[in-house]
A = this chain, B = another copy of it.
């Protein structure tokens, strides 16, 4: 494999990871739209997308492995490929969380609609934005943007805690909507988990960028 082919492979890896990010984000958006509209067809789409996401994860892993096997990568490329492998696993789990959300939505569908004091779409928007920004930070090698994702995580954690407390109180005071409130509480936890995956990605980005910096500093010193 020539150096050029290797770099084409790295570009392909980057593109595939972005596609994976898009698939995971779409799954989350569909899951939350399914929650808002109670559209079972959307639930079905999310369930079906799980396998496509899993396949795509394996493809990325295989390509990453082939790149590592076919050419001794330079330290910076090695770090990049290893970051892709970790981020890939997180994106796959974002897809899993979307599946968990639609399972709750399907459960809710058998129950009367209840107006509950919880901003699930707001939490979902924040968590999705974190996933998108963490990926953007990775592609741009931008540790500051990754740092911003970590800050937003505190916000999503706060929203999750608030939802927890208010749903617990609804369950205690309005037992007739206990099941619906429990579903909302669990969906909020799934969204908080998605934010955690975005946080993992952002931490990998910071580790990756800083590692590159450290490497760079050593080079400078040794000159």
Contact = CB atoms under 8 A, between A and B. Distances in A.
Interface in A171-187: 171-172, 175, 178-179, 182, 185
A172 B182 CA distance: 11
Per assembly, the copies of the chain total: 2
A63 interface: no
Q: Is the interface of A mostly helix, strand, loop or mixed?
A: helix
Contacts of A75: 69
B65 A69 contact: no
Nearest to A81: B68
Interface stretch (A82-90, A116-124, A143-151): A82-90
A78 B85 contact: no
Contacts of A78: 65, 68-69
A112 to B, nearest CB: 15
Given A65-B82, A78-B68, A86-B89, A168 B179 contact: yes
Interface of A: 58, 61, 64-65, 68-69, 72-73, 75, 78-79, 82, 85-86, 89, 168, 171-172, 175, 178-179, 182, 185, 207
21 contacts: A58-B207, A61-B82, A65-B78, A65-B79, A65-B82, A68-B68, A68-B78, A68-B82, A69-B75, A72-B72, A82-B85, A85-B85, A86-B89, A89-B89, A168-B179, A168-B182, A171-B171, A171-B178, A171-B182, A172-B175, A182-B182
